[in-house]
Amino acid sequence: MRIENYLGSKLPLGSGYIKPETFRLPKPGQRDPHFGLSRTAYYRLEKAGVIQMRRVSKHGNIRGAVLIVFDQVLAHVLGVKPGLR
């Protein structure tokens, strides 16, 4: 079963909500707008092997952006095993 089937009316912003593929790691002291999780929570989920975060940067740069895969977090929050279709 697809994860989208679990969402129902739980999507924020009404019917015009567009589900992102990824979103940026929240800034320190803030929470993400989709699930309300903190930066620390995401690092803990990654360390536990529950989610994978993608790190992107320009060639040669030390710093870059950390992206979180929306469907992996959604599956964790809903208690669904990722990869079920």
Which DSSP category does 80 fall into? -
The domain segmentation of the chain, as residue ranges, is: 22-78
What span, in angstroms and rounded, lies between the C-alpha atoms of 69 and 74?
9
Tell me the whole-structure pTM to 2 decimals. Answer: 0.73
Q: Is pLDDT of 15 > 70?
A: no
**What are the tokens at 61?**
């740069």
Residue 80 banded pLDDT, cuts 50, 70, 90:
confident
